[in-house]
Amino acid sequence: MAEKITPRSEDYSKWYTDVVQQAELADYAPVRGCMVIRPYGYALWENIQAALDRRFKATGHVNAYFPLLIPYSFIRKEAEHVEGFAPQLAIVTIAGGETLDEPLVVRPTSETIIGHMYAQWVRSYRDLPLLINQWNSVVRWELRTRLFLRTAEFLWQEGHTAHATYDEAEAETRQMLDIYTDFAENDAAVPVIRGRKSESEKFAGALRSYSIEAMMGDQRALQAGTSHNLGDNFARAFNIQYLDRSNTLQYCWTTSWGLSTRFIGAIIMVHGDDQGLILPPKLAPFQAVIVPIYKNDEERSQVMGAVERIRTMLGEGVRLKVDDREGYTVGWKFNEWELRGVPLRLEIGPKDVAQGQVALARRDVPGREGRAFVPQEGLAARVNDLLADIQRSLFERAVAFRAAHTFYPKTYDEFRQAVENGFAWAWWCGDEACENRVKEDTKATTRCIPLDQPGGTGRCIVCGRPADEMAVFARAY
């Protein structure tokens, strides 16, 4: 935490990078476009993993591991898939000192190799559904990269399921979208719009893609998780077939769904302020930090005694950091933990020990207003209540911010204005030509066609033809 963070109003993009690096979430790697996820960032990812993995397992999914390296010929088996991914592939051509007969692709996603294995594992309807997830890293050679948001390698989970019917596959696709929504809103305090991607924005090889879309602090959109109904496209390409109850050979219906370390970018940009990160208590590596205050050894021993009593009081229920480092001023520590977004700070000095109190400071309410002296008695309940309140407030604040920057333009001129300032909900005829015009005129794209539609019909904001559905348009990361 050497330098000052660039204020958001001055340069949002620079603010973001400053926060990521100075809070020690991540660092640039010596390979173009790659990053190192530092321990503090990884601890946040571990909490995200636990929150998702719990939900996956509760809905019957199990984890497995499929190979990193995929034969190049596999990628070519699904026509749209290869078209979408070929330009981004990293390719191993030499291994064990020899040039390979067939090059191997470092997985950009695993539909193909998993399809190949499913074809061998699935025999009858009794083997279905197959509900598997994997936690891994993937490589996509992106030209323009940004820490967490777009990197040549990223960590994620990719779920891959196979079903007997189209309906089951569609239900699974939607279930996982709902799980992402629940995680985003309830654990990360990030409000999202659940919706269908347009044909031009869908996953390469999918029948239908869904996403959750969140608004960042600069009013731009970020796709924070996706769930794809792959139809029978991959089942046909990889020959995933099963014998049904009447002994007839049928193709399976498959899905895939993923959420990545990109989500950390969303947490930073939805909640952060000019002092740095603000982490939602449910995911914060440390939910509270205690900063002891003393001037000499006698005070130190008094204060540290009280700190130990508080640590015991709070117990396992609170992820607590005690910052007892020597050689740093109290003010420096306050700044450090503000920068790192710890939701709650407890300060305790000799006077507080004498009076049986501590000072509690909320990260989400800066200055005097967010700071209060409270008795040590009953502290655990108070801390837990405050953490719950911070979690709720962060979500409400993000909902209010999004509402303040969501527009319902009536004319194309209003629309052009709207997408410069946030999300535009607008009727859309569904034609790619209209999407393209919007992109050329405004750099905004269709983020999704929300599942929660206002009802009724209207006229396309671009071409004026009749439209059944509204889409959300925005500039996106």
Q: Based on CB atoms, which residue is closest to its own copies, 241 or 275?
A: 241
First vs last C-alpha separation in the chain = 27
Q: Is 366 in the site for its own copies (CB under 8 A)?
A: no
Tell whether residue 386 is a contact of its own copies (CB under 8 A).
no
Nearer to its own copies, 89 or 448 (CB): 89
Site for its own copies in 68-97 (CB under 8 A): 68-71, 74, 86-97
Phi and psi angles of residue 66, each rounded to the nearest 5 degrees, phi first: -110, 155
Residue labelled with tokens 């199990």: 62
**Residues between 135 and 194 that touch its own copies (CB under 8 A):** 136-137, 139, 141, 143, 152-153, 155
Query: Which span sits near its own copies by CB under 8 A: 119-127, 205-213, 299-307, 345-353?
Result: 119-127
CB of 308 to its own copies, least distance (A): 18
Q: Is 50 in the site for its own copies (CB under 8 A)?
A: no
Choose one: 130-138, 210-218, 268-276, 371-379; the region binding its own copies (CB under 8 A): 130-138
Length of the chain: 477
Q: How far is the CB of 346 from its own copies (least distance, A)?
A: 22
Q: Are strands 469-474 and 241-243 parallel, antiparallel or unpaired?
A: unpaired
CB atoms within 10 A of CB 34: 14
When binding is defined by CB under 8 A, the residue of 19, 132, 147, 353 that contacts its own copies is 132
Nearer to its own copies among residue 43 and residue 313 (C-beta): 43
- Cβ nearer to its own copies, comparing 36 with 400: 36
Q: What is the DSSP string of 201-212?
A: GS-TT-SEEEEE
Among 36, 50, 388, 433, binds its own copies (CB under 8 A): 36
CA-CA-CA-CA dihedral for 79, 84, 86, 92, to nearest 10: -100
Minimum distance, C-beta of residue 216 to its own copies, in the bound complex (Å): 23
Question: What angle is formed at CA 88 by the lines to CA 83 and CA 89, rounded to 5 degrees?
Answer: 95
Beta-carbon neighbour count of residue 356 at 10 Å? 10
Q: How far is the CB of 393 from its own copies (least distance, A)?
A: 29
DSSP secondary structure of 123-159: -BGGG--EEEEEEEEEE---SS-BTTTB-SEEEEEEE
Q: Which residues contact 223 (CB under 8 A, 6 or more apart)?
A: 211, 212, 213, 447, 476, 477
Using rule CB under 8 A, residue 104 touches its own copies? yes
Q: How far is the CB of 70 from its own copies (least distance, A)?
A: 7
- Binding of residue 63 to its own copies (CB under 8 A): yes
d(CA 206, CA 228) in angstroms, rounded, equals 6
Residue with tokens 């899905």: 255
Does the protein bind its own copies through residue 59 (CB under 8 A)? no
Residue 247 DSSP code? S
Number of residues this chain uses to bind its own copies (CB under 8 A): 57
Interface stretch with its own copies, choices 3-11, 36-44, 241-249, 348-356 (CB under 8 A):
36-44
Which uninterrupted H or E stretch holds 229? Answer: strand 221-229
- Segment contacting its own copies by CB under 8 A, of 112-120, 276-284, 430-438, 459-467: 112-120
Phi and psi angles of residue 241, each rounded to the nearest 5 degrees, phi first: -125, 155
Q: Is 322 in the site for its own copies (CB under 8 A)?
A: no
Give the alpha-carbon dihedral of 22, 24, 28, 33, to 10 degrees.
-110
Helix (H, G, I), strand (E, B) or coil at 223: strand
- CB nearer its own copies, residue 104 or residue 426: 104
400 lies in the binding site for its own copies (CB under 8 A): no
The H or E element spanning position 477 is none
Tokens of 264: 């950390």
Among the listed residues 5, 19, 20, 37, the single contact to its own copies using CB under 8 A: 37
Least spacing, CB of residue 222 vs its own copies, in Å: 21
One of 7, 11, 13, 126 touching its own copies (CB under 8 A): 126
Contacts of 269 (CB under 8 A, 6+ apart): 16, 216, 217, 218, 222
Residue ranges that bind its own copies, judged by CB under 8 A: 27, 29-31, 34-39, 41-43, 45-46, 62-71, 74, 86-97, 103-104, 106, 113, 116-117, 120-121, 126, 132, 136-137, 139, 141, 143, 152-153, 155, 327
